[in-house]
Chains A and B, each alone.
Chain A
């Protein structure tokens, strides 16, 4: 089986550990010229990655109906901020937004609970079972979404969940994605077994062990799972179409589809819609990535 060595730090690896020096490799010396190029390259990459969003924002401020620009314009001559308010009039966006937020408010805690408990459980099983459940989870991960659409509908129908928020949230009870279970599993595996042994000797139940010993160091993973779950439910556009009947219960991605139907090349509105859909996630990411940068290096904190 392929390994992820023990010192894996999933999202907190977005930061470099404090006690790590820069290894040689691509960045050999510390000469100023080299440093200049490295920083330029890094900034270049950031600019390249950010440019698309900047352009989208610009386009969303253009006047609807004008011929598209002949040259690249870095800022519209007359920013039409009211494109955004117009959008709210064309579609019931506030309702879609509220629905999306409701789905996420339910899905995130449930996902976290199920995935964390399952990951914890997996991490404490004897080796043979661990391997088996791991393979099963990986196999589950490979199942494409399109394989389950139609027959999930049957199940929701039987449970009488159609046209309710539960039809969209139910996957949370399966941890939304086996990936999250695996993430928690790998995180909990890194916690030294002695801690759990000590807790058991004191008579702690599994629940207490999970909550008090396993969870705190797993905070970066929790945050990563929260962000990923948010993205997953926020952008899901197949489920609402299949499982929701009344337009009042639609979520935001369906709204974007409707917008595209109304006028497939009305770029200002489409871009404004995209910005609306992207902004909450970007904001959430910006707020939470500070926690990613916190180095929860376990090997350091448990050194006596």
Chain B
């Protein structure tokens, strides 16, 4: 065996490297440029060998939601057999985003996609969406004022309407009626306050077998900026300084801090919400589903799953009211890709999906609160199925606030959300968390140039 000491091996490398150094930077630069140009070329000449005739429609959600979309597509195909729709389905939002990034980078995004209003501005700003406002104006079946104004505003950016809203959900309180009755606590009323809520939650947080660990919790909610926002608004505070041209988060204003403090006190002081360990061991939603948590904050998304509950009766209540009533908008919309091959045909599908027929179909899955005023206030949505007080979703629409439409809002929400979580589980004071959140999100605000 011939042996070569390690050091001389490395010195060989450095020897050759040093001989190349004068040229190294140039070589690297040119090599990278060439690859980059090849890349650009391939981006521009993206080969689309797929079925150009069918319109691709991409959705995400659990199997029940997917079934509803399949029904929608089937109904559309009976009415318009000449327009084939290819339905693509991803199990969760995470995979949905992965696909979108990959598809867009390949230059072949789905023709029609469902985007949340917190995310669509990034796509619109980059010019990859086709504004649907003009199509709506020319439509014979639906018009802008058929929809709830809040959803239309949510998808209006830079002066035009980009996507057609599908739903207008909001944050509500799902409660376990049986637990309330067992503890002798009055059911939540339409105008119950923060104090009422905390009292009820305290009465419903019980350690039934005396082992020092709570067996039943009064409430459960996700510690995120999106859940905190309505409470800030209810206390008279603001998320950002200027909703149309935000330059910073305003979590440090007195009203915002007070709301923030009340929010985290639910866990830290009142202990009506599972702590970090309990939440990791079993999620609040799971506890609610199994009858071990009295009140769970969620949007309309939860209804299809909750409808499978058989052991107890459940219903919804509006958010408890602070100094004023406020809620937070949740909304998704159908968006059309700018480079879709057949925009007219795609529009016909979008129009159908948001027509009274289409929205009624999706509403039967229970997943959505229809954005069409007539359908929302009809038996298609207000049917016999739980929740009995579904009307609450409609009554709260007038006080819904929305987060600002900035292209990188998601990063801001994510980053600030981690601080909210930190404060919620007692690892930082609200002042610290607010200051850090503002600090870390400042670069994202600075990146944003208003249109």
To the question of whether A and B form a pair in one complex, the answer is yes
Q: Mark B216-250, 1 if CB is under 8 A from A, else 0.
A: 00000000000000000000000000000000000
Chain A residues near B98: list those with CB within 8 A: 241-242
Residues of A within 8 A of B (CB): 1, 3, 65-68, 70, 90-91, 149-150, 153-154, 157-158, 160, 162, 241-242, 245-247, 254, 257-258, 261-266
Distance of B445 from chain A, by nearest CB (Å): 28
Give Cα A160 to B108, complex, Å: 13
List residues of chain A with CB within 8 A of the CB of B137.
Answer: none
A1 adjacent to B4 (CB under 8 Å) = yes
Cβ-defined contact, B102 with A150, below 8 A: yes
Say yes or no: B106 contacts A265, CB within 8 Å. Answer: no
- In the complex formed, the residue of A with least CB distance to B89 is A247
Q: B90 — which chain A residues lie within 8 A by C-beta?
A: 241
Least distance between B91 CB and chain A CB atoms (Å): 4
A158 with B47: CB separation less than 8 A: yes
Q: B282 on the interface (CB 8 Å rule)?
A: yes
Q: In whole angstroms, what is the CA distance A68 to B49 when docked?
A: 51
- Once the chains are docked, how many angstroms separate the CA of A257 from the CA of B4? 49
**Sample of 14 A–B contacts (CB below 8 Å):** A1-B9, A3-B1, A67-B290, A70-B211, A90-B63, A91-B63, A157-B49, A157-B50, A160-B49, A162-B50, A241-B99, A257-B92, A258-B62, A258-B63
Q: A67-B292, A150-B105, A265-B283 are in contact. Are A242 and B99 (CB under 8 A)?
A: yes
Check if A241 sits within 8 Å of B50, measured CB to CB.
no
| B281 CB–A CB distance under 8 Å | yes
Inter-chain contacts of B305 with A (CB < 8 A): 262-263
How distant is A167 from chain B, measured CB to nearest CB, in Å? 12
Residues of B within 8 A of A241 (CB): 90, 95, 98-99
A3 to B5, CA, bound (A): 12
Are the CB atoms of A263 and B286 closer together than 8 Å?
A: yes
Given known A-B contacts A1-B4, A149-B102, A242-B99, A68 and B281 have beta carbons under 8 A apart: yes
Q: Name the residue of chain B whose CB is nearest to the CB of A238.
A: B98
The distance from the CB of A250 to the nearest CB of chain B, in whole angstroms, is 9
Known: A254-B91, A261-B92, A265-B286. A157 touches B108 (CB 8 A): yes
Do A153 and B292 touch (CB < 8 A)? no
Whole-angstrom CA separation of A114 from B101 in the bound complex:
32
Residues on B with C-beta less than 8 A from A245 are: 86, 88
Is A266 a contact of B286 with CB atoms below 8 Å? yes
Q: Which residues of B contact A263 (CB under 8 A)?
A: 285-286, 289, 305
Given known A1-B4, A154-B106, contact A65–B9 (CB-CB < 8 A): no
The interface bits of chain B over 284-308 (1 if a CB of A lies within 8 angstroms of the residue's CB, else 0) are: 0110011010000000000001000
Which of A70, A258, A265 contacts B91 (CB under 8 A)? Answer: A258
**How far apart sit A194 and B136, CA to CA, in the bound complex (Å)?**
80
CA distance A247 to B60 in the complex (A): 11
Query: How far apart sit A91 and B66, CA to CA, in the bound complex (Å)?
Result: 12
C-alpha spacing A281/B243, complex, angstroms: 54
List residues of chain A with CB within 8 A of the CB of B4.
1
- Besides A154-B106, A157-B106, 14 more A-B contacts (Cβ < 8 Å) are A1-B4, A1-B9, A67-B215, A67-B282, A67-B290, A90-B63, A150-B102, A154-B46, A160-B49, A241-B90, A241-B98, A245-B88, A258-B62, A258-B92
Contacts of A154 in B (CB 8 A): 42, 46, 105-106
Could you tell me how many residues of chain B have their Cβ less than 8 Å away from some Cβ of chain A? 36
With a cutoff of 8 Å between Cβ atoms, the chain A residues found around residue B47 in the complex are 157-158
B14 to A: closest C-beta gap in Å: 16
**B106: chain A residues within 8 A (beta carbon):** 153-154, 157
Shortest beta-carbon distance from A285 to chain B in Å: 29
Q: Is the pair B282, A265 in contact by a Cβ cutoff of 8 Å?
A: yes
Chain B neighbourhood of A160, CB < 8 A: 49-50
Closest-CB distance, A243 to chain B (whole angstroms): 9
Interface string of B28-65 (1 = CB under 8 A from A): 00000000000000100011011000000000001100
In the bound assembly, the distance between CA atoms of A227 and B49 in angstroms comes to 36
CA–CA, A160 and B63, complex, Å: 28
Q: How far does the Cβ of B178 sit from chain A's closest Cβ, in whole Å?
A: 15
Within the complex, what minimum Cβ distance (angstroms) separates B209 from chain A? 9
B76-108 contact mask (Cβ, 8 Å, vs A): 1 or 0: 000000000010111110010011011001101
Residues in A whose Cβ lies below 8 Å from that of B282: 67-68, 265
A90 to B92, CA, bound (A): 16
Establish whether residues A262 and B49, one from each chain, have CB atoms under 8 Å apart when the complex forms: no
What's the Cα separation between A154 and B39 when bound, in Å?
A: 10
Chain A residues contacting B289 (CB-CB under 8 Å) are 65, 263
**B88 near A153 (CB under 8 angstroms)?**
no
How far, in angstroms, from A157 to B1 measured CA to CA in the complex? 49
* Cα distance, A1 to B99, chains bound together (Å): 42
Give the docked Cα–Cα distance between A157 and B105 (Å): 12
Nearest 9 pairs of A and B residues by beta carbon: A258-B91, A261-B92, A265-B283, A265-B286, A160-B49, A241-B95, A245-B88, A65-B290, A153-B102
Instruction: Give the CA-CA distance A67 to B291 in the complex, in Å.
Output: 10
State whether A257 touches B91 (Cβ < 8 A): yes
Kindly list chain B residues whose C-beta atoms are within 8 Å of the C-beta of A257.
91-92, 95
Given A162-B50, A247-B89, A261-B92, are A150 and B283 also a contact pair (CB < 8 Å)? Answer: no
The minimal Cβ–Cβ distance linking B211 to chain A, given in whole angstroms, is: 8
Could you tell me the distance in whole angstroms from the C-beta of B386 to the nearest C-beta in chain A? 18
The residue in chain B whose Cβ has the minimal distance to the Cβ of A237 is B95
Query: Is A264 a contact of B283 with CB atoms below 8 Å?
Result: yes
* Residues of chain B with a CB closer than 8 A to A153's CB: 102, 105-106
Contacts of B49 in A (CB 8 A): 157-158, 160
Encoded as 1 (CB less than 8 Å from any A CB) or 0, chain B from 152 to 187 comes to: 000000000000000000000000000000000000
**Cα distance A245–B96 in the bound complex, in angstroms:** 11
Q: How far is the CA of A153 from the CA of B46 in the complex (A)?
A: 12
In the assembly, what is the distance between CA of A150 and CA of B106, in Å? Answer: 8
Write the chain A residue with the least CB distance to B292.
A67
Q: Mark B267-285, 1 if CB is under 8 A from A, else 0.
A: 0000000000000011101
Q: How far is the CA of A262 from the CA of B1 in the complex (A)?
A: 59
**Nearest-CB residue, chain A, relative to B284:** A265
Whose C-beta in chain B lies nearest to the C-beta of A246?
B88
A151 CA / B390 CA spacing, docked (Å): 47
Is A262 within 8 A of B62, CB to CB? Answer: yes
Contacts of B62 in A (CB 8 A): 258, 261-262
Of the candidates B63, B66, B101, the one whose C-beta lies within 8 Å of that of A150 is B101
For residue B95, which residues in chain A have a CB less than 8 angstroms away from its CB? Answer: 241, 257
Q: Chain A's nearest CB lies how many Å from the CB of B310? A: 10
In the bound complex, residues from chain A placing their C-beta under 8 Å from that of B102 are: 149-150, 153, 242
CB neighbours of A266 from chain B (8 A): 286
Identify which of B42, B102, B215 gathers the most chain A CB atoms within 10 Å of its CB. Answer: B102
**Candidate in A68, A157, A158, A262 with the most chain B CB atoms within 10 angstroms:** A157
Look across to chain A and name the residue whose beta carbon is closest to the beta carbon of B105: A150
A242 to B96, CA, bound (A): 9
Complex: how many Å from CA A264 to CA B91?
A: 13
| CA gap between A264 and B62 in the complex, in Å | 13
